[in-house]
Every structure is written in C-alpha cells, then in structure tokens.
Amino acid sequence: MVEELPDIVAQRHARILALARRAGSVTVEALAGELDVTPQTIRRDLNVLAKRAMLSRVHGGAIVTSGVDNLDREARRQVATSAKAAIGTAAAALVPDGASLFINIGTTTEAIARALVHHRNLLVVTNNLNVADILGGVPTIEVIVAGGKVRSSDRAVVGALAMDFLRGFKVDFALIGASAIDAEGTLLDFDVDEVRVSQTIIEQARTVILAADQSKFGRPAPVRIAEIAAVDHLVTDHLAHPGIRAACERGNVQVLETNS
C-alpha cells in the first residue's frame, strides 16, 4: 500500500468534516464516491477523526459532535431513522394499555410516540410538543403537556415551571432519551434545563425505559443526567460497547436489542 502524503490526508479530513457539518451525518459509501477513494480509506479516516473527538462513529458512517453542542433537531431526526423506528416499536411494546407515562424530548422518543398511536386508555404527560402533536388527536389517549418555557429549536418545554408541573405526577412508565452515554454508563446531555426536567421525570416514574440508538454510545456530552442503573430497560438497535453493557449488567438493566 502506497503511503499517502500528510497534506493529502489532512485535506481529505477537512473535506469530510465540512461535509459532515453541513449535513449532520455522513456515510462511508457517500464519502467514498464524493472523494474518489476506497471505502476502506474512508473508514480509516473516520476512525482517526473519531479518536480526535471531531466526529462520532456510527454503523456505516459518522455523525457530528463537538462534545458541548448537540446537532440541531432536523439533523438529529435524519440520523439512524430506521433504527429509531424499530426502537420506537420495541419500546412501545413494553407499555401496556391503560398505563400512565412520561415522554421527554428527543427524536427517538417521538418515534416511540408514533408507535403508541394504537394503544388504548393511555395517560401521556410530556414536555415535548412534537409528542403532543403526534398523540393529541388519538381519541383513546389523553395527553397532558407540561407548562413552562418552550425552546424554539426543538419545541421542548423546559425550566423550573416544567419541573414543578411534572412533580405533580407519579406515573407507571418514563420513556426517555439521552444525547450520549459514556463508557462508564453515565447518561449525558447538552442542556442543563433539559437535564433537570429529565431527572424529574426519572424520579416520578415507577419504571424507566431508556431508548437510544448505538450512535449515542461512547459519545461525549457535558451534563450528567444519571447513571444507567437509574433505568430499568435499555432499548437499542445494537449494544456492542463492552463498558456500557457491563454497566447495564451491574445495574440490572434489561437490554433489548432490535437488531439481535
């Protein structure tokens, strides 16, 4: 194999980062075609960039992460869409008819909401106005929306008013997402207000179901939500991360993999 010049590699890395930041995510196949190199070269490049914490590797490609800023909602919505749909279906199957539940902010929890539309006699409390749009017109589901400040970027209701509102409930299930789960099994996010609402939701639920696709595993984020032992079920597409799997085993977290 001919060794590439460092300048050529650096230029290709810069191009990969520019493409990733523009779209929010990139695939190996698309990059190989765009940059006229082999998929093996792109995989090697993505692994290098991931080690530098400039991208996060996911199956078949990578997503943008700065470690301090999350992707915008539209970019997040386009990442792992089929995996999120399968996770949503599997998580919704854990919820029986007649249950009360919290659903927090996130594109994966919105996938769960779409999978709940055929349930009957649910009481859904949410700080996610997108979830309210999905379930609000279903006659067999009662939807209660938390009061408080609406964040324009993703229509999340956050802040002290939302927390106080949610403390007025004790529900059967909390269906939650997280932006990142580190190697020790700590659930992480990017926004302090959002994290405080998520912590309140966890405290006020009898059973906690965490829904997260594999792109969240090992990803950095600055604000701690909880340890993974605080949840009862982890629903994901595939859990190959040994540290997170070990943390689930220590915390008696039931892992459900949709791709297994």
Span 75-106, pLDDT tens digits: 555 556 788 999 999 999 999 999 999 999 88
Q: What is the pLDDT of residue 14?
A: 85
**pLDDT tops 80 at residue 3:** no
Please give the Cα distance from 162 to 126 (Å, whole number): 10
Mean pLDDT (whole number) for 187-199:
91
Indicate where the chain has its CATH 1.10.10.10 domain(s): 6-64
Instruction: Check: CB of residue 238 under 8 Å from CB of residue 204.
Output: no
Distance of CA 203 to the CA centre of its chain: 20
DSSP 53-92: TSEEEETTEEEE--SS-PPPHHHHHTTTHHHHHHHHHHHH
Sheet (strand 205-211) strand order: 141-145, 122-126, 100-103, 171-176, 205-211, 233-236, 254-257
Please give the Cα distance from 147 to 149 (Å, whole number): 7
Instruction: Check: CB of residue 246 under 8 Å from CB of residue 183.
Output: no
Structure confidence at residue 145 as a pLDDT band (50, 70, 90)? very high
Indicate where the chain has its CATH 3.40.50.1360 domain(s): 75-257
Structure confidence at residue 51 as a pLDDT band (50, 70, 90)? confident
As a whole number, the mean pLDDT across the chain is 89
Instruction: Check: CB of residue 220 under 8 Å from CB of residue 57.
Output: no
Mean pLDDT (whole number) for 10-23:
83
**pLDDT tops 50 at residue 208:** yes
Q: Bridge-partner residues for 128, per DSSP?
A: 156
Q: pTM for the whole thing?
A: 0.74
Residue among 37, 175, 56, 36 nearest 104 (CA): 175
Q: What is the pLDDT of residue 55?
A: 82
**pLDDT tops 80 at residue 23:** no
**pLDDT tops 50 at residue 68:** no
Instruction: Check: CB of residue 127 under 8 Å from CB of residue 158.
Output: yes
**Site of tokens 């982890």:** 234
Per-residue three-class SS string for 143-208: EEECCCEEECCCCEEECHHHHHHHCCCCEEEEEECCCEECCCCEEEECCHHHHHHHHHHHHCEEEE
Query: What top-level class would CATH report for the domain 75-257?
Result: alpha beta
72 φ, ψ to 5°? -70, 165
Please give the Cα distance from 179 to 161 (Å, whole number): 23
Structure confidence at residue 59 as a pLDDT band (50, 70, 90)? confident
CATH code of 6-64, in short, is: 1.10.10.10
> 81-93 vs 107-115: helix axis angle to the nearest 10?
50
Residue among 105, 97, 132, 113 nearest 201 (CA): 105
